[in-house]
Amino acid sequence: MKRIAAALVILAIAVAAVFFWLTAPNPLPVDILAGMDEGDAMAGERIFNAGGCNSCHGGKDPAADTLPMLGGGLALKTPFGTFHAPNISPDPDTGIGKWSGADFANAMMRGVSPSGQHYYPAFPFTSYARMKPGDVADLWAYIKTLPAVARANVPHELSFPFSVRRGLGLWKLLYLSPDPVVAIDETDEKLVRGRYLVEGPGHCGECHTPRSLIGGLDKARWLGGGPAPEGDGKIPNITPDASGIGSWSAEDIAYSMESGFTPEFDSLGGSMADVQRNIARLTAEDRQAIAAYLKAAPPVASSR
């Protein structure tokens, strides 16, 4: 019995060691992190709008309606619990004002906090992992120009086992990858640009793609729509299937993103209204590239 007990103890220690190794946060390589404080703020504003950062993390300054206020606070209710968007303003005490560019890049592209903890994928780092490091540096430079907001973060409301962040290391092994989702003609610059905006900073798949039981994106049904993350209504299918937006031309899609109106003379509503306002701030070439990619994406039939 003593031998059996000792063997079980050794096995438990071995399992714990393997778990600890597999779930360890995996920061970016040093050579990528080196230039993260050298971004271009003007270029970063485009990435900020493409990513819709203001939609989750803040609102507008009523005294100056051009400046985003990134104090956080949006509550996202999911089957795993309620997540609260954090303060990402440059406030040094309640925001991210004390972060370095390397801290920001690790958060964006690897889902790792400055203290070495995993972030929950309610923060779409699984999409941001596909971003160009230079764009991340530019975004960081832009965020540092925005007003500091003194607002304490609200803790997430999660029950066990979802409250154990370490387990997210296993989740990342399954779902965190910088590889593109859709294979396209790599010589077509418009398609390459559109794929980057949709799959990377725009993180369109995070809402428009169904998820598995453990919250990972079902890439076999990429952009095929599905239940809303908060459980109320559905997110539409934006693939070129007949049950999606197959009847829309690329021009229809680009115009809808610019104006907020669909080809059926309806208007984009719900959370998509915020997304549209952000995309409307991009260049016409960006919207046309996004439209070209959506027309080239594999068609997926909407689930019933």
Same domain, 131 and 206: no
User: What is the phi/psi pair of residue 9, to 5°?
Assistant: -65, -45
pTM for this model (two decimals): 0.89
Is 245 part of any domain?
A: yes
Alpha-carbon span 135 to 232, nearest angstrom: 34
Same domain, 89 and 158: yes
pLDDT number for residue 88: 96
Examine residue 155 and say whether the peptide bond preceding it is cis (omega within 30 degrees of 0): no
Same domain, 190 and 158: no
Spans in the chain with pLDDT lower than 50:
61-64
pLDDT number for residue 190: 96
Same domain, 175 and 190: no
- Cβ count within 10 A of residue 53: 21
pLDDT number for residue 237: 94
Boundary (domain end) residue, out of 179, 195, 211 = 179
Same domain, 271 and 132: no
Alpha-carbon span 130 to 196, nearest angstrom: 8
Number of compact structural domains in the chain = 2
Same domain, 109 and 185: no
Same domain, 49 and 137: yes
pLDDT number for residue 63: 46
pLDDT number for residue 62: 46
Same domain, 235 and 138: no
Residue 41 neighbours by CB under 8 Å, 6+ apart? 138, 141, 142, 144, 145
Alpha-carbon span 171 to 177, nearest angstrom: 11
Give the residue numbers spanning the domain of 69.
27-179
Is 65 part of any domain?
A: yes
Is 301 part of any domain?
A: yes
H or E element: which one contains 138? Answer: helix 133-143
Same domain, 89 and 172: yes
Same domain, 32 and 150: yes
The full length of the chain comes to: 304
pLDDT number for residue 83: 92
Question: Domain containing 296 — which CATH number?
Answer: 1.10.760.10
Judged by DSSP in three states, 60 sits in strand
Is 7 part of any domain?
A: no
Is 20 part of any domain?
A: no
Same domain, 300 and 162: no
Boundary (domain end) residue, out of 146, 179, 212 = 179
Q: Can you spell out the DSSP letters for 95-118?
A: SSTT--HHHHHHHHHH-B-TTSPB
pLDDT number for residue 64: 47
Query: What is the phi-psi region of residue 203: left when phi exceeds 0, alpha when psi lies from -120 to 50, beta otherwise?
Result: left
pLDDT number for residue 281: 92
Is 60 part of any domain?
A: yes
Judged by DSSP in three states, 217 sits in strand
Same domain, 232 and 161: no
Boundary (domain end) residue, out of 179, 204, 235 = 179
Q: At what angle do helices 271-279 and 250-259 cross, to 10 degrees?
A: 100
Is 121 part of any domain?
A: yes
Is 17 part of any domain?
A: no
